[in-house]
Amino acid sequence: MDIQKLSSKYTVRPLVTSDTEIILKLNQSNPLYFKYCPPAISRPMIRHDMTVVPPHTSKDDKYYLGFFDGDKLVAMLDLVLNYPEKENVWIGLFMVDAKYSGKGIGTDIMNEIFTALSAEGFKEIGLAYAKGNPQSEHFLAKIGFFKTGVEEEEKNYHYTAVVVGQLLDEN
């Protein structure tokens, strides 16, 4: 997959270990996210998230990406292709720096991601958000995600994950 096709406005590149501090700052700019979806972000968690993949997937299908305006990290995306099924995509995390929130930037980036993934032949995107987080729920509904009816207890972290989907062929 040509990751630069995910955005016409921002430079898209893989996030690596040397980016840990800017990733930490972006995450820390969104305290509401971690209020509903603990634990608080940490450097070791970031490094773990860079490489962890779901069961029955390959590291070749994992994309841990940053969207940059010059040298400023505007947004980040943790994307796994062909999960949970072939032609599906799973978003482990999409987050926009709070300085850029409320300006339509997240919506624009996600719409370009939908278009690029659809052009690659993917049919559906799934993700989960922490139940009760009004910001996540509102944003995901606004960009066309629908509740699948699946909710999973995250016992280690004491929250409920609400699974949502987006059909790409409808975009």
Domain locations along the chain: 3-126
CA distances from 1 to 18, 121, 124 (A): 23, 11, 16
At 72 the pLDDT is: 97
At 61 the pLDDT is: 95
> pLDDT tens, 68-84?
999 999 999 999 999 99
- Across the range 25-36, mean pLDDT stands at 94
- Across the range 24-43, mean pLDDT stands at 93
Average pLDDT, the chain: 94
- Across the range 135-149, mean pLDDT stands at 96
Whether the model pTM is above 0.85: yes
- 20 versus 38: which is more confidently predicted? 20
- 101 versus 18: which is more confidently predicted? 18
- Across the range 149-167, mean pLDDT stands at 92
Say which amino acid occupies 55: P
pLDDT at 18 over 70: yes
Does the domain at residues 3-126 carry the CATH identifier 3.40.50.720? no
Spatial CB neighbours of 67, under 8 Å, sequence gap ≥ 6: 6, 7, 10, 11, 12, 73, 74, 75, 76, 77, 109
Range name among 87-101, 105-119, 144-158 with the lowest pLDDT average:
144-158
Strands 62-69 and 146-154: unpaired
| pLDDT tier for residue 171 given thresholds of 50, 70 and 90 | very low
